[in-house]
Structure 1
Amino acid sequence: MCRDRCGCGWGDNVDSPPDSAFSVNDLADARWLLRCGPPGAAGHGLAYLLDDLLAAVTPALARGGVHTPNHRWEISAALARLHRLTPDRTLAERVGQRLAEGVDVDDGLYSERSANYAAYVSNPSLLAIAEVLDHPDLVDAVERNLDATLDLLLPDGTVETVLSRRQDQRQPLPLAPYLLPLRRIALLRGRGNPAWAAGLALSQGIVSPARGHGADPRDPGLARELPEPAPPRRPRQHVFGAAGLLVDHRPATTTVVFGGSDYPRHGRIRSGLANSPTFLRLFAGAAVLGDVRLSRVFFGLGPFRAARLLVERDQGVTAATLTESVSASYYQPMTDRDRDARGRYELVDDGRFSAAMDFGRRARDEVTLTTAVHVAITDTGTELTADLAGPAVDWALELAFRPGGRMTGAIALDEHAWQLDPGEPAAYRVGDDSITATVPDMSMSASHAVPAYEPGEEYRFLGGTDAVSGERLYVGGRVPGRLRLRLSAAHHAE
């Protein structure tokens, strides 16, 4: 079950309590339905088989550990369901130990910041625990997450995931898997926003018909008529401070600015970290600028990834500033005291590569590149300013648009890539909607090479890349200097 929902069960999770919990949650619900079903269902042969299976797995679930935050809630939900079938104080106490760690919700986001895990694991698990063990505070946590989800909801009906620390950071998630928690919160709280969102989720299709069908007999009230739907207001804006994300919804546009990468702090690409170098998205109806990235040819250290987002507001204009500083070193000879005539030195990680150089015992000369990106959001789009300081190296700003439109005014590099002429506007049009890119100021020299995305040595060494697809427009230059790029959006609503 876990393979389909969270991608963490591909052959390397042996003797796994959390992976078993995904199945146990479904099987325990099936057993409960047999118990509460029509006369004779409780004595069905399947009921006895499920009793034997669940009794066999219970000790492992009660004692077993986990390895990701959301697994705490999945395994606790399984224990709560087992406790409902056969009350056992030790199972309830084990759930209590997990809950005593605190539910990891900050500004409505779980610590993994993953829409996928919130929809499929954390929200339904916490609601199950709340129901069985009477924890209304868990319902509050789910409600906070669903409120945050509505602010993360994009005009195309998907949930923003660029901030995620899990696999879904590479693509948005439809709202559909949130359907049942949205209905439950709308009914429990009598609220129109989640009722509206539940309608949208339902329109995208039922992700798991069996789960939806099984939810009704367990909780007949879930099928009641929802409160009057109330779509989220526009304009509205939410800054997720801890996650470094700004989402700005205006009548004609939605803008996303991301400056919460985990990469600057941890210095590595890793499962469980927010690695995406996308720092800007702009939606204007059918015209969607899906990814804006800034890459540099600087010691293979990869693209710009900001660890901090600073937001300022002044007279209707919201401005976000993202900063990053990266360095590489040249190492000096060792002192007489540290030399080894045999040439044997420790194999050490320098932060970007490893070598038998015992770097910690050498003086170093650092080379540093600093980048500051300023994004001003208005009703007509955004204005981006990038200041780069450091050694003379090439950089490339990549604007990747979702397919389906037509690019005009730019120099074609290949079938799906263009270069922006600093003196001419380039427009990407989809029907009557468009996003136009103009460079009013570029105070730096031109790049030596044709601009292209550079993923960095961590991907290059493995023969991989984190490049995005789509219709790509490039602006290239050379450090040091400043670039100003104006993005003008036109959306003709019906």
Structure 2
Amino acid sequence: MNDKHVDAAFTAAVQAALTGQVKAILNEGDGGGHLQHRRLAERILALVAYGRHGRLLDHAARLAARLRELQGPGGLFTGGDNVDSPPDSAFSVNDLADALRLLRRDPPGAAEHGLADLLDDILTAVAPALARGGVHTPNHRWEISAALARLHRLAPDRALAERVGQWLAEGVDIDDDGLYSERSANYAAYVSNPSLLAIAEVFDRPDLVDAVERNLDATLDLLLPDGSVETVLSRRQDQRQPLPLAPYLLSLRRIALLRGRGDLAWAAGLALSQGVVSPARAATELILDPGIARELPEPVPPRRSRQRVFGAAGLLVDHRPATTTVVFGGSDYPRHRRIRSGLANSPTFLRLFAGAAVLGDVRLSRVFFGLGPFRADRLLVERDQGGTTATLTESVSASYYQPMTHQNRDARGHYGLVDDGRFSSAMDFGLRRRDEVTLTTAVHVAITDTGAELTVDLAGPAVDWSLELAFRPGGRMTGAMALDEHAWQLDPGEPAVYRVGDDSITVTVPAMSMAASHSVPGYEPGEEYRFLGGTDAVSGERLYVAGRVPGRLRLRLAAAHHSG
């Protein structure tokens, strides 16, 4: 390839990152004896990618010998909390297969190094287990399939190809909005996108490239002003923290080049500016496919004013010149009535970005039978000439149970241990009449050019509620009464201002038609967390508005962002 057409900034960044990774590997003590198999495989790939000769290969061979010791009788690697795990082993196989592929290339002699034979033995032993193994989660199918594809490329095997075909026959779990079923930026960036691209390359499946492109389209609209990808909608662990764009780097570059996408080229530049998070993988891609280093199309930043509704996920993202507003009403909790890995549980329903001033989490707590904070079970978006309004609703109930009827009584007092939805008791709840107490909440978010206006309607018994507005640290709160070092309470009618440098967000409650709260405001995570001594509370500088059901709250958020 002509050096004139090489993206020098990309190649230099990858080389620098790989050099740093290799130095760190060589400085580690105990020869990798403390590492689990995935970390060992990653290091082997880094060493092979950096230099396929001399002491680096010797060091990689020592790590591979340790890895071989972690291989069980069935070929799968041991270690971690997932026992005898085909998908966990697949992560290591993807790295090891590419390391062996590198060794079989240049320079002459590398393939004859003992490391090549050792990796071949390891991969030969694990292949049958991956070809028949099962999975836990949707993205595991693509990680295993990518590993099988790489093994098939090294040594074509009909059984491996057929197994990939079985997984692909289930269909790629991506919706019309470009979101995978787990709705996770983390797993899209690290697993699904790179795995589908690898499978597409080996088996010539352009439809898989199409799926990745759709996900990257969605990612552009989920991209926040701070360079992270919105995760509040996720059904995995990343729903609790932001994810930078950096892990998407290779997928963004590849699709930008394949499809001539200037907007993805722009995003790839942003991802690169955040650092190369997987140096070994990036360097390997460069060696095996030098075309990924070609100059990208002319970068085209996305329009600053744009709006996207992710209907199935219940998410609205509104980008404007001075602000970005996120409204979330797609929690899985109202349908499943439990906190679980694999469900979208976050009670955050609003975020507002105004430069350095960021309102990271808006949540509504209620003191209502320990049922926890408001989690909307639907999002309705209405647009008219006046703008966009998102409506979130939820209705929660608790029951009081009546005595057993004559035919269901047991003189011994022995009744079935039954889950009420909030707790369990030996009361055979299904056989009793119940009196229900219901709390209904509706939140209307009208998006404005400077922020948002909220209307919160609560109907039901007289209970306290607290609206929590958690700002990212680094600023100064004025105009509110301090509750502690990081918490304040807003006085209705008096504006509170959170300022970071020249940027600010002002919170005003023009009127509140309800009684004052009887308790000190705060966040209530609910009995599911309290019983375990846990919480899903957020940190930051927290501003509270408190009241008592029933009634209506109106609140205005006005942002001032000076782009300079």
Same fold, judged at TM 0.5 (above) = yes
- Per the alignment, residue 47 of structure 1 pairs with 116
Output the amino acid matched with 1:100.
Answer: A
SS in 2 for 1:307: coil
Output the amino acid matched with 1:161.
Answer: T
Q: Check conservation: 2:38, 2:91, Cα contact below 8 A.
A: no
Output the amino acid matched with 2:363.
Answer: R
TM-score (norm 1): 0.98
SS in 2 for 1:75: helix
SS in 2 for 1:255: strand
**Quick one: which of 142, 146, 167 aligns to 2:212?**
142
| Residue 445 of structure 1 pairs with residue 495 of structure 2 | no
| Residues 364-388 of structure 1, C-alpha deviations (whole Å, 9 max, x = no match) | 0000000000000011110000000
| Residue 251 of structure 1 pairs with residue 310 of structure 2 | no
| Residues 151-180 of structure 1, C-alpha deviations (whole Å, 9 max, x = no match) | 000000000000000000000100011000
Distance 1:156 1:94 in 2: 41
In the TM superposition, what is the alpha-carbon distance from 1:3 to its structure 2 partner? 7.5
Q: Check conservation: 1:319, 1:377, Cα contact below 8 A.
A: yes
User: Residues 202-221 of structure 1 correspond to what in structure 2 (within 5 A)?
Assistant: 202-221=272-291
Distance 2:168 2:288 in 1: 24
**Quick one: which of 486, 489, 502 aligns to 1:419?**
489
Distance 1:116 1:3 in 2: 17
Structure 1 residues 10 and 262: CA distance shift in structure 2, 3 A: farther
Q: Check conservation: 1:3, 1:10, Cα contact below 8 A.
A: no
| Residue 298 of structure 1 pairs with residue 368 of structure 2 | yes
**Quick one: which of 96, 103, 109 aligns to 2:172?**
103
Structure number with higher strand proportion? 1
Distance 2:554 2:185 in 1: 33
Distance 1:236 1:38 in 2: 50
**Quick one: which of 350, 355, 359 aligns to 2:425?**
355
Q: Check conservation: 1:297, 1:395, Cα contact below 8 A.
A: yes
In the TM superposition, what is the alpha-carbon distance from 1:39 to its structure 2 partner? 2.2
Distance 1:456 1:46 in 2: 54
**Quick one: which of 475, 478, 503 aligns to 1:408?**
478
In the TM superposition, what is the alpha-carbon distance from 1:11 to its structure 2 partner? 3.4
SS in 2 for 1:382: strand
In the TM superposition, what is the alpha-carbon distance from 1:2 to its structure 2 partner? 8.8
Distance 2:137 2:283 in 1: 29
Output the amino acid matched with 1:346.
Answer: G
| Residue 153 of structure 1 pairs with residue 223 of structure 2 | yes
Q: Check conservation: 1:409, 1:425, Cα contact below 8 A.
A: yes
SS in 1 for 2:317: strand
TM-score (norm 2): 0.86
| Residues 420-474 of structure 1, C-alpha deviations (whole Å, 9 max, x = no match) | 0002000000011000000012110000001111000000011111000000000
| Residues 313-353 of structure 1, C-alpha deviations (whole Å, 9 max, x = no match) | 11151100000000000000001110111110000000000
User: Residues 271-290 of structure 1 correspond to what in structure 2 (within 5 A)?
Assistant: 271-290=341-360
Structure 1 residues 327 and 407: CA distance shift in structure 2, 3 A: same
Q: What is the Cα-based RMSD across aligned positions, in Å?
A: 1.1
- Per the alignment, residue 484 of structure 1 pairs with 554
Distance 2:79 2:160 in 1: 28
SS in 1 for 2:97: helix
| Residue 31 of structure 1 pairs with residue 70 of structure 2 | no
Q: Check conservation: 2:378, 2:392, Cα contact below 8 A.
A: yes
Output the amino acid matched with 2:138.
Answer: P
| Residue 64 of structure 1 pairs with residue 138 of structure 2 | no
| Residue 224 of structure 1 pairs with residue 299 of structure 2 | no
Structure 1 residues 259 and 2: CA distance shift in structure 2, 3 A: farther
- Per the alignment, residue 261 of structure 2 pairs with 191
Gaps of 5+ in 2: 1-35, 40-77
Distance 2:79 2:480 in 1: 44
In the TM superposition, what is the alpha-carbon distance from 1:363 to its structure 2 partner? 0.4
In the TM superposition, what is the alpha-carbon distance from 1:359 to its structure 2 partner? 0.2
**Quick one: which of 517, 527, 530 aligns to 1:457?**
527
Output the amino acid matched with 2:542.
Answer: R
In the TM superposition, what is the alpha-carbon distance from 1:38 to its structure 2 partner? 2.2
- Per the alignment, residue 194 of structure 2 pairs with 124
Output the amino acid matched with 2:294.
Answer: R
SS in 2 for 1:177: helix
Structure number with higher helix proportion? 2
SS in 1 for 2:532: coil
**Quick one: which of 395, 406, 409 aligns to 1:339?**
409
SS in 1 for 2:456: strand
In the TM superposition, what is the alpha-carbon distance from 1:43 to its structure 2 partner? 2.2
SS in 2 for 1:105: coil
Q: Check conservation: 2:249, 2:271, Cα contact below 8 A.
A: yes
- Per the alignment, residue 321 of structure 1 pairs with 391
In the TM superposition, what is the alpha-carbon distance from 1:46 to its structure 2 partner? 1.2
SS in 2 for 1:479: strand
Pairs aligned (count): 490
Distance 2:291 2:428 in 1: 66
